[in-house]
Chains A and B, each alone.
Chain A
Amino acid sequence: MTEPTLLSGRGLGLSFGGITALADVDVDLWPGEMLAIVGESGSGKTTLLNVLSGRLTPDTGVVWYRDPNGQLHDVHAMPAPALRTLHRSDWGFVHQDPRQNLRMTVSAGGNVGERLMAQGARHYGDIRAAALDWLAQVEIDADRIDDLPRTFSGGMLQRLQIARTLVTHPRLVFMDEPTGGLDVSVQARLLDLIRSLVTRLQIAVVLVTHDIAVARLLAHRIAVMQRGRIVETGLTDQVLDDPRHPYTQLLVSSVLNA
C-alpha cells in the first residue's frame, strides 16, 4: 500500500541515566488507524507515546508528522508555538487521569468549549451548542453542562475528557491507558464509546494499554514492547492469536479469554 503515513517514528532511542527506555523503535501510523502499544509496566510504552507526541525528545531518531496539506514535519524540530497549536487542534491527548487534562474549576461546557475558543471561536451560542452536542455524544446529560467536573464520576470525567479532546475534530489522538482505573462495567461503556467515535470520525489513534482485551477490541494493529524495544508487531488478531515472540506468548497466555 502506498498511502502515506500520518506519523512515522524511525530509530527512536532514549535513556534515562543508565536505563534504556527506548531502543531502535520504528513506528508507522496511517490515517484513521488505531495502533495499540502493549507491554507491562516499565516496558517503555508511555515513553514511546510521549516521544511520538513531541512531549519528550528522544536521544536518537526522528518522528515525522504529515499535516493536512501533505507537508512533513519533524515533530521535535517544530517551533514550540507550532507544536502547541498542533496539540490544540489537529492532535489530542487523552490521559489516564482525566484531572490532568480537565480544568476542575471550570464547568463541563467550558471544558469542552476551551479548545474551540483557543482556535478563535467567538460565538457563545455556537460554542454552547457544540458543547451540548459533544456532551450528548459522550453520553453526559445536557443538564450537567454547567456543573463542575468535581461532581462527576470517574467514568464521566473520562468521557468529558474525550469530548474536550475531540471537539476540534483532531486527526490524531494519543491515548494513555484511557480505561485504566475504571470499574469493569464503566470500562466497557467507555471502550464502546471510543470505538464508535473513532470509527465514525476516522481518527488515527496511538493507544497505550497494558490490557490486551482493550487492544483486541479497539486496535487494527498492535506493537508489543519489552524493555524499550518493539519485539513483535502486526495485525492485532494475528499477534494475539498467533504470537511468535516468547514475551508475546507469555503476555497472551497470562490473560483469560483475551
Chain B
Amino acid sequence: MKGYNFAYLDDQTKRMIRRGLLKAVAIPGHQVPFGSREMPLPYGWGTGGIQVTASILGAGDVLKVIDQGADDTTNAVSIRRFFARTAGVATTTATAEATVIQTRHRIPEKQLREDQIIVYQVPQPEPLSRLEPSRIETKRMHGLADYGLMHVKLYEDISRFGQVSISYDYPVMVNERYLMSPSPIPAFDNPKMDMMPALQLFGAGREKRIYAIPPWTRVKSLDFDDHPFRTINAPHPCGLCGATDSYLDEVVTDNHGGRLFVCSDTDHCSERRAAGHVGTDGFQEAAE
C-alpha cells in the first residue's frame, strides 16, 4: 500500500520489538517491556498482537486471524484485511495453511506445527495483578519466583467452591520458572500450550509488555497435588459437526429458548463437515 511501510510499522519499531521478542524467547514466560506504538485502532482491539505480528511478518507468510475461534468476526476480519493491505501477505482461514496465526481468546483445535507461530492478544499480562496491585511488588515476586500468593487464590477457590473457579486466563508456570498469564483463552486450551511445537508470542499493547514460549517448552497449569488441573468438556457434541473434543460456543437460535452448541473454532468445524461429519443439528440447518 502506497505511503506505508511494509506491515504498517516503521523498521526501527519493528527492530525494537524483535529485540524484545528475542529476549522474551530467551526467558520463557518473562514479561519484557517494549515501546508500544499508537496503532490505528483502540487499545483492547489487539494492538499488542498486531505490533508483534507486524514485526515478524515476512512477504511469504500466510496469515490467519481468529477472534474467539472464529475467522469471520469483526475483529478478525479487520486485522486480516489490515495486514493484507499494509503488507500484501496472503491470508487464510485454514489453520493448516497459516504460517502466522494471530488470536484472541482461543488456540486452534488443530495441533500446530514447528513451522508456525501463534501470536496472542493480551489485555493484562500480569497474572498477579488482581491479587497484588503493586507493580513493584509483582516484579519482585517474579524475580524471586515467590508465587505462594497465586496458590492462595487457588486454595480460596477450592475451600469456597470445592474446585478452582478460574475458567479462562488460568495461570500457568512456564519452564518451571515464571508464572504467566496465557491471555484470556479458556482453561480448556491450556494443555495445548504445553510442549507445543509452534512458537508462542504474546503482545499486550496497552500494558506495553511482550512475552513468549519457545517451541517444546513445558507449560503447567497451577494446581494442587490432590486437586489436579482438569479441563471440562461440554456434556454434548457440536451441533453441526458432531465433534466431542472441541470447545463449544452457545448460540441462541430463536426467541423461544432454542439454542445450539457449536465448535468455537469455525475452521475446525467446517473442515470436519467437509469431511462428512454431521451433528444432530446439522440436518436441520441444511433443511432450512
Contacts and interface: CB of A to CB of B under 8 A. Distances in A.
B225 A110 contact: no
Given A122-B224, A122-B225, A146-B160, A127 B146 contact: no
Contacts of B143: 81
A81 B143 CA distance: 8
Contacts of A103: 152
A10 to B, nearest CB: 29
B156 A110 contact: yes
- Secondary structure at chain B's binding surface: helix, strand, loop or mixed? helix
Contacts of B146: 84, 88, 118
A119 to B, nearest CB: 7
A123 B56 CA distance: 42
A110 B149 CA distance: 9
Interface in B155-184: 155-156, 158-160
A124 B152 contact: no
B224 A123 contact: yes
A229 to B, nearest CB: 35
B285 interface: no
B227 interface: yes
A3 B226 CA distance: 43
Given A103-B152, A117-B152, A124 B227 contact: yes
B159 A109 contact: yes
Contacts of B144: 80-81, 84-85
A7 B173 CA distance: 37
B40 interface: no
A44 interface: no
Contacts of A85: 144
A115 interface: yes
Contacts of A127: 155, 224
- Interface centre among B152, B156, B227, by most chain A C-beta atoms within 10 angstroms, is B152
Contacts of B223: 122
Interface in A88-144: 88, 103, 106-107, 109-110, 113-119, 122-125, 127-128
Nearest to B146: A118
A6 to B, nearest CB: 24
B258 interface: no
A128 B227 CA distance: 13
A125 B226 contact: yes
B226 A124 contact: yes
A134 B269 CA distance: 53
A85 B144 CA distance: 9
B264 to A, nearest CB: 31
A145 interface: yes
Contacts of B225: 122-124
Given A122-B225, A124-B226, A146 B159 contact: yes
Contacts of B152: 103, 106, 110, 113-114, 117
B173 to A, nearest CB: 11
Nearest to B156: A110
B155 A109 contact: yes
A144 to B, nearest CB: 12
Contacts of A117: 148, 151-152, 155
A117 B156 CA distance: 12
Given A114-B149, A117-B152, 9 more contacts: A80-B140, A84-B144, A84-B146, A103-B152, A110-B155, A110-B156, A119-B148, A123-B226, A124-B226
25 contacts: A80-B140, A81-B143, A81-B144, A85-B144, A88-B148, A103-B152, A106-B152, A107-B156, A110-B156, A110-B159, A113-B152, A113-B155, A114-B149, A114-B152, A116-B148, A117-B151, A117-B155, A118-B148, A118-B149, A119-B148, A122-B223, A123-B226, A125-B226, A128-B155, A146-B160
Interface of A: 80-81, 84-85, 88, 103, 106-107, 109-110, 113-119, 122-125, 127-128, 145-146
10 nearest A-B residue pairs (beta carbon)? A118-B148, A124-B224, A117-B151, A117-B148, A123-B225, A81-B144, A110-B152, A125-B226, A114-B152, A124-B227
